[in-house]
């Protein structure tokens, strides 16, 4: 079954695919020939989806291979995952009132906050990704899925593993995962919290409420709470101010990075859209990536800029 999901404004599909491709978990997700595919599940139902972009029509199409019960759920999650409800023109216009962001105007219309497929999955991946490279986190997530995740049955399925539920993580063997014990305990803690509260990753009455709820979980600090709030809860004002990519992106003309409190103070003018401003700073950091920071880089094209953003 195929469902069409229209959107308004610009959507940089190449940027979206680049974001998910760098983080794609083996046997769970795949980006190939302009299409995003992944395994999905809801209760006892499981299957796969394929997401295509129809630029001429301004829509994503979602093709679901599995029980009919998955289709409506998949459509809602894809719309949320790729931020299709965002009024990117209005958000960009608001943020461009700040001269500090105005030099990024060419990138602004297409920047959306790419989210995750499932709140619990995002939370676990955020914890796994603490203080490691994107590639290292991708491999560790693959190990976790292999230990705890379910399996799709069928012949010649390139995608056949399903990201584990909170209960499967709690029942699984997390020993020897290749990460610090405190991080493993944080994964268990978020699994217990998610199992006890199915609405754990809903937006709260305010961002402060959402952050406080997440920070009450053992092992979840401020950076992780804001990152989960941004990617899982859909908080448009979440802002992980201590993120090194944001601090590099906010550096002045002399290369001086602000301290996190200074960046937080600067970001007050970006409320209630700080998550979108964060993506501009990540894009700016990517533009001044490793080659440029060594002095041998050149200005990146629009597509390369977004492909290399750290956030």
**Half-sphere exposure in the Cβ direction for 76 (13 Å, CA):** 7
What pLDDT is attached to residue 109?
A: 54
What pLDDT is attached to residue 254?
A: 85
For residue range 83-99, list pLDDT tens digits in order: 999 999 899 889 988 98
- What's the pLDDT band for 295 if we cut at 50, 70, 90? very low
Q: What is the mean pLDDT of residues 128-149?
A: 93
Write the CB contacts of 15 (distance below 8 Å, at least 6 apart in sequence).
110, 111, 303, 306, 307
- What's the pLDDT band for 298 if we cut at 50, 70, 90? very low
DSSP 66: S
Q: What is the mean pLDDT of residues 273-283?
A: 92
Domain ranges in the chain? 2-85, 88-114+239-311, 119-231
For residue range 199-250, list pLDDT tens digits in order: 999 999 999 999 999 999 999 999 999 999 999 999 999 999 999 999 999 9
Of residues 188 and 100, more confidently modeled? 188
The CATH number fitting domain 119-231, selected from 3.20.20.150, 1.10.340.30, 3.30.420.40, 3.90.650.10:
1.10.340.30
- What's the pLDDT band for 293 if we cut at 50, 70, 90? very low
Distances (CA, A) of 194 to 200, 202, 210: 6, 11, 14
CATH code assigned to 2-85: 3.30.310.20
Q: In what order do the strands lie in the sheet with 2-6?
A: 2-6, 59-65, 45-54, 35-42, 29-32
Q: What is the mean pLDDT of residues 7-23?
A: 92
Packing angle between helix 134-148 and helix 13-23, nearest 10 degrees? 60
């Amino acid at each position: 079954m195929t469902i069409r999901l229209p959107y308004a404004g610009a959507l940089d599909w190449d940027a979206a695919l680049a974001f998910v491709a760098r983080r794609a978990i083996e046997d769970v997700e795949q980006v190939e020939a302009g299409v995003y595919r992944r395994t999905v599940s809801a209760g006892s139902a499981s299957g796969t989806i394929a997401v295509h972009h129809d630029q001429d029509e301004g829509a994503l199409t979602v093709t679901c291979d599995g029980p009919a019960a998955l289709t409506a759920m998949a459509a809602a999650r894809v719309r949320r995952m790729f931020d299709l409800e965002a009024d990117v023109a209005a958000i960009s216009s608001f943020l461009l009132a700040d001269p500090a962001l105005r030099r990024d105007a060419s990138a602004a219309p297409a920047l959306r906050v790419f989210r995750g497929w499932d709140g619990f999955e995002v939370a676990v991946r955020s914890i796994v990704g603490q203080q490691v490279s994107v590639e290292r986190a991708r491999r560790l997530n693959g190990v976790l899925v292999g230990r705890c995740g379910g399996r799709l049955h069928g012949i010649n399925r390139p995608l056949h593993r399903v990201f584990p539920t909170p209960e499967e993580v709690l029942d699984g063997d997390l020993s020897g995962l290749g990460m610090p014990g405190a991080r493993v305990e944080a994964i268990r803690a978020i699994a217990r919290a998610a199992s006890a509260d199915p609405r754990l990753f809903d937006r709260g009455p305010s961002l402060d409420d959402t952050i406080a709820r997440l920070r009450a979980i053992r092992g979840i600090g401020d950076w992780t709470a804001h990152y989960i709030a941004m990617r899982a809860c859909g908080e448009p004002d979440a802002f992980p101010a201590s993120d090194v990519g944001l601090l590099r992106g906010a550096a002045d003309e002399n290369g001086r990075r602000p301290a996190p409190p200074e960046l937080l103070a600067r970001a007050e003018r970006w409320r209630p859209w700080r998550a979108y401003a964060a993506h501009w700073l990540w894009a700016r950091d990517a533009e001044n990536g490793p080659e440029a920071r060594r002095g041998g880089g050149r200005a990146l094209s629009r597509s390369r800029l977004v492909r290399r953003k750290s956030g």
